[in-house]
Structure formats: C-alpha cells, structure tokens
Chains A and B, each alone.
Chain A
C-alpha cells in the first residue's frame, strides 16, 4: 500500500566516523508518506548513529537528507524539529517534576500579558492528549503516570511540534502487550494522517505486526531495504546477523578437537523475569558460543553465571562441587572473569590509565589493603600491551584515548591478568574495526588452546560458528537449542534463532 506513496524523506550516503570506527558508512534511507518503516540491526549496526544524524544530534560527514524534495541539514535536534524530523526515545526525556501540560508545551508555552497561560495550556493539552486516547488531567505531575502513558505524552509533544517524520527508538522495550497495542494504534493513525514513522525495535514480532517496510543495517552499512510482506523471518535474521561469504579465509572452522577435562556444569540455572532455566556444560579448553538476537536473554545468562544476578533456580557445579554465587566476588574467587558488552558503561574507567585499568581486577581479588607494587603493575601492563598488541605509546595514557578495539583488548588484559579459568565475553568484537576484530578472535583461539574455558556471547554468527565448540542459542529469554560438532554452522544457528521454541509464548511480544 505504501508502494506508490509519495517520497517523504530521502537520506543518501550518510557517513559518520568515530575514532577507530566507521559507525555509519554511506547508508541510504527512504521513507514514504504514510508508511511505518522498521529500522533493524544488532548493537553497533549504526541505528543510533543514523538517528543522530537525522535529528542533527551529531553532524554528518558526508551524505544528504531531502525532506519533501528539499535539502535539509539539521544542525541540532531543535533544528531538525523545525524542519519536521523528531525523535522519541526509549528513555523518556521528559521532566517528571513538571506537569503533563508543562512538559508538552515547555519552551513554547502560550502566554497572556507576558505570563504563562496555564488554563490554556491545560485545555489545549487535554485536547491534544485525547487524540492519543488519553483522557488525563494535564495539570497532574508527569511522575504520576506509567511509563506507557509518559511515552505517549512524549509522542504527543513531538507530533504537536509539527513533525512530518517521527522516529521511535525502541519505544516498546518497557511496555506490556496491551500498551504496545495502544502505541501501534497511535502509530497507524499518525501514518494515516500523512506522516512517516521510523520504528526502531528488536522485537521481530512487532516488526511484522505493524511495519510496511524494513531497512536493515549491519556494521554501519546498509544491508538492504525490503517490503515487510515480502521478507520471510529467516531471511530477515540472516540479513541482520550476516552470512559467511563463501571462501573467506581467516574464519576457517577448526577440526573437531579432543574434549577437555570436565569443568563447569550449569544445571537449570534461571531467574524469574530475567531468563528461563538453561543448562550447559563447559569443559576446559572449550569455547561455548551463545547466540541470539538482542534481548533474547543471552547477556542475562552471563550475569547469572558470573553472580552479577542471583539465580533463583538451578545450580552451578564447578569441578564436581556445587557452588553458590552470592556475587561477582564469589565468581572471581572461583577463577571466573567477565568482559561486559558495554565497555563505556560497565567496563573501562575512562580517566584512569591503561595500567590502572589492567591491574584493576587483579588488585580487587588481592584485596585493597595489599597494594600491588608499582613495578609489578608496570610489568603486568607492559606484558599485556605487548602480548595483545595494544596500540599506545605507553601504559600511562588515559584509557579513554584509545580506540574501541584497543580498549577492548585492555579490558581483556584486565581479566587475563587474573589468569582466569573461565572467561565470559559479551560481544567481544562489537564496535571495533576489522583488524582488531581478527586479532581478538586469534587471541581467543590461543587462550582456548592453552586450556582456558571461554563463554562467548556474540551476534556475529559466522564468527561464533568458526571458533565455538558448541553453541547455545537463546530466543525470547529461553534456551532454544544447543548445537554441537558438525551442527555448528551459521545456517543452523540462524535457523535455531528463528524457529519458535515449543513452549507457551512469552507475554512480552504483542
């Protein structure tokens, strides 16, 4: 239906580079009047960067944006709003201490004799909100309402500022299915009134429920644009996760190796509302890959295994002894290490030097009273800088000055310094350039050959298929399969990700 609709927004060749990473590389995006358009991709695919360029939150290096046939070049979110492009994020960026009406009209309040006309704000606000199916008193403080209502209020504010293009970034992530249904109705109405809605989500069911077209990004590049109706789910996931181009040399699957000595046995480990019980065996010198889409529960399995979340069912057996993890300290004592996914948030301490970042975990395990001698710290840092080929003039530079790939290697060094028996890695190759990518994979293979057990969460299926001995597939916060031996192929992994689990459907998806 949206096929013959008029072109509304045409972005061509959008490009943006961060130090060490090309976050967006010549990406095109086309939105037509009256369509709901899904923007899909894994973490680090470039979705956020694309949105930032469209809304002027970041400047573009190359490319052009045409809206209604006219060139626009938004320099700030306010600028983009004025030309008709507006975004509403998962994180509700309204002010909980103000009233609903004040939030809707902040910065453009109606005035009378120079004073804010509260009565009119309240009246107009009520009228506006009723169009979104909300009959609430706009004089109430925003904090009195649920996330879902606040989300709709944010959309109402955005649309009221005369938007032609509405970008919804993960708006459904914290909504239940009834609330999602309301949001979808609003999205359809807005599209029906001649706007275009760009819908970013990682719930594939929602993509098929509401969108007309799909644009897929991967690694900062455009994979393709398809009509939703013409794109089977399997093909969509393949587009998102990527297929191994045949004949790619450095990702050769290793021959089956002798299984190592028994080490860890996870039996039905789970936590309500986090992830359903899962089981896995990890042997010494074994790589267990964990595959799944964003939000599938893959990171949560690692949090349970590392004690960062306390399991309420199942148990972990290490060297034949059942253990209870009260927190990460227990896990560290058992010789576990954990490189989290979001380096900036959970991993590096940006203002500390590379040396200090590297010795952090070892120092923590020793206890803070027994300070590692500076000479020993220097020696450790230099060893790992050399071993992992971290590109830096010296170990005393603040770690934030390194590129993403080198930060990742320093984080790895932090855990390697503790000489762990099990290393948990969450997306170790995300957001880093191709060269560093290959280096990290080689390093993982080396560690494995030395007998370290690895638990690697990744959305790069071809990589996982290349180095993992076994792959646990997660879907909708459940274990959806365990592939071993010859079954570990990209196609089999994607297949397991897409195939519904034979269990009652989870309540999250609409």
Chain B
C-alpha cells in the first residue's frame, strides 16, 4: 500500500539519512546505542520536537511561523512569574499559558487571513511582540522551585538498559501522535493540505480557508506554549531570552523531514526524524568532545541544502510527462 512516489520519497530519504548517521555514530561510539543515550536524545530535544509538530501544520498550509521561539520564551518567563511571583499552582499556570498561546495563534491566523498579509511579516511582528512582552515581565532568569516541578521531573518511564524516558519526552511523543492523527486522519488535516496545495482552489472547492488558517496558527502557538512548559520543566527556570532562533531549528527539522517549504506535501513522521537527526548530530559532537557545538549548525545547514536540492529534483522528475490519453 505504501507507494514510492514524490510524496513518500523525501520521507524515505530522511529515514535513510537518520539510519546511516546513527550507524556511523554507533560504529565510532558503540555507547550511542544504549537506551540511556536514546532517552536523553528524546528528552533533550523534546521542546524542539513539540515546536516542529506545530511548524509542520504551518508549513504544510503554505505558511511560516517565526514567532514560536519568542512564544516559547515568553511562556517560560510567564510560568516563572506566575508560579514564583504570584504563587499560582503550576497546573493552573500551564492551563493559562496553553489557552493564551492558542488565542495568540488564532489572532495571528486571523490577521494573516483577513489582512491578506504574508505570514512571514505577521509572525515576525508576533515574534517581536512576544519577545518584548517577555522582557517586560523580567530580564532575569527566574528559578522555579515549586515542589510540583520536582514531582514532575521525577516522573519517567524506565527503558530496558538503564535509560529513562522523562515526562517531557513522553509529552513530545504524545504531541507527535496527536498532531499526526489530526493531520493525517481528520477532515481538518486534509484542509491543511488543501490550503497548502493552492489556497484559491481550496476556497473554490468549498474549503473554509479562514477557519483553516486560524486553526493552523492556533495549533502552532499552542505547541509553542507547550514547548515553553517543557523547557520550563527541563531547566526549572524561566528566562525571557529562551529559544532565540529555535523557530529556525524547527523549520529546518520540518524541511529535513521531507515537508516542502512551499506547502501541501509532507507529513508528521518526517518532522520527528528531522528533530532526531539534529539531536543526533549534537550528541555525536558531544561524544567527540573536541568539536565546537556550532558544528551542529554547519551540519544542519549542509543537510538542509542537500534536502532542498533533493526535493527540487524529485519535483522535476515526478511532474506528469506527456499525456496518458
């Protein structure tokens, strides 16, 4: 049933690259096969994974969301202020930031649709707003010492071999599963693809493009808020300058995962692999010990370049040639 065509080829290529990379790492450092490393890979990149889930929706719809890093940063500092400053319970605070994130994203989507403004500009504006608001709350890094945080960080799933899958890794995997179901198995998900294929045609075919755009950016900002919660749990602190530039890592993960930047083609599974490839490169550099971690950026840059070239080639060769009659 799984056919190899223009749609599945990029995903297979990504999977191939991941397996190849992992094999190379494992040959050099057999310890990288341990479940401890795998557990850490998922935990350390949980926030990025959650951002990539939202970004997958946005890019598939033909848009871009530059605000997610700033929304994540705002969330961490807002949580710290609410929990430490105002004495709210973390669960109450989580609810507030998730709802707030959703509303913020819906606002972005509404502005993009009704002002007919390019997503790049609208989300750039949103990025400045969120980052500015975060710095307004506090310019300091505020530690979160609430005991509930201790409890949550203690929660984990033991993996065979001594590794642990922490709560935040589980949250990320859950986000991927939920996002995947929404995207691939519901009417709403098909509308996202339709919008990314051609917004005008989608409208002509009876798709409510306004609602779909709002949904897409609502999901993206909600995921950014969730990433903020995860990062807050991960670092047990809040800092307004958290996540500067991570929106670009998320976009890179989605594109490496086989989703076309022009929209309409791709999927959720690829984005997870895209995140893991980035994490893997970072882990390898950590194992090596002698390389600067900035080499990660160079490797990601090269990978992106290769994947974009690959996608262009695939598009060219998969275009219908001639008539079938």
Residues of A within 8 A of B (CB): 77-78, 81, 93-98, 102-103, 106-107, 109, 111, 114-116, 140-141, 143-149, 176, 178-179
Contact = CB atoms under 8 A, between A and B. Distances in A.
B205 A147 contact: no
B205 A116 contact: no
B190 A106 contact: yes
B325 A178 contact: yes
Nearest to B204: A93
Nearest to A96: B197
Interface string B161-204: 00000000000000000000100011101110110111011101
Interface stretch (B114-122, B241-249, B290-298, B316-324): B316-324
A78 B7 CA distance: 30
29 contacts: A93-B198, A93-B205, A94-B201, A95-B198, A95-B201, A95-B202, A96-B198, A98-B190, A102-B190, A106-B202, A106-B207, A107-B205, A107-B206, A107-B207, A111-B187, A115-B186, A116-B186, A141-B5, A141-B7, A143-B6, A143-B318, A144-B5, A144-B318, A146-B320, A146-B323, A147-B323, A148-B323, A148-B325, A178-B325
A147 B320 CA distance: 9
A115 B324 contact: no
Nearest to B207: A107
Contacts of A81: 206
B112 to A, nearest CB: 20
Contact of A145 (B193, B197, B318, B324): B324
Contacts of A147: 323
Contact of B322 (A107, A111, A143, A146): A146
Interface string B7-28: 1000000000000000000000
Contacts of A143: 6, 318-320
Given A77-B204, A95-B202, A106-B207, A179 B323 contact: yes
B265 interface: yes
A146 B193 CA distance: 21
A179 B7 CA distance: 28
B264 interface: yes
A291 to B, nearest CB: 32
A220 B257 CA distance: 53
Contacts of B193: 95, 97-98, 102
A95 B323 contact: no
Given A106-B207, A141-B5, A144-B320, A97 B265 contact: yes
Nearest to A143: B320
Given A95-B201, A97-B193, A97-B265, 13 more contacts: A93-B205, A98-B190, A98-B193, A102-B190, A106-B191, A106-B194, A107-B205, A140-B3, A141-B6, A146-B323, A146-B325, A148-B323, A176-B323
Nearest to B196: A97
Contacts of B197: 95-98
A342 B204 CA distance: 24
Given A97-B264, A116-B187, A106 B205 contact: yes
Contacts of B7: 141
A111 B186 CA distance: 8
Nearest to A144: B320
Contacts of B207: 106-107
Interface string B91-125: 00000000000000000000000000000000000
B20 to A, nearest CB: 28
A179 B193 CA distance: 30
Contacts of B3: 140
Given A98-B190, A145-B320, A176-B323, A93 B201 contact: yes
A150 to B, nearest CB: 9
B190 A116 contact: yes
- Nearest 10 pairs of A and B residues by beta carbon: A95-B197, A97-B264, A97-B197, A146-B323, A107-B206, A115-B185, A93-B201, A146-B324, A78-B206, A93-B204
B9 to A, nearest CB: 12
Contacts of A106: 190-191, 194, 202, 205-207
A78 B191 CA distance: 16
Contacts of B204: 77, 93
B265 A109 contact: no
B193 to A, nearest CB: 6
Residue in B6, B204, B264, B319 whose Cβ sees the most chain A Cβ within 10 Å: B204
Contacts of B324: 145-146, 149
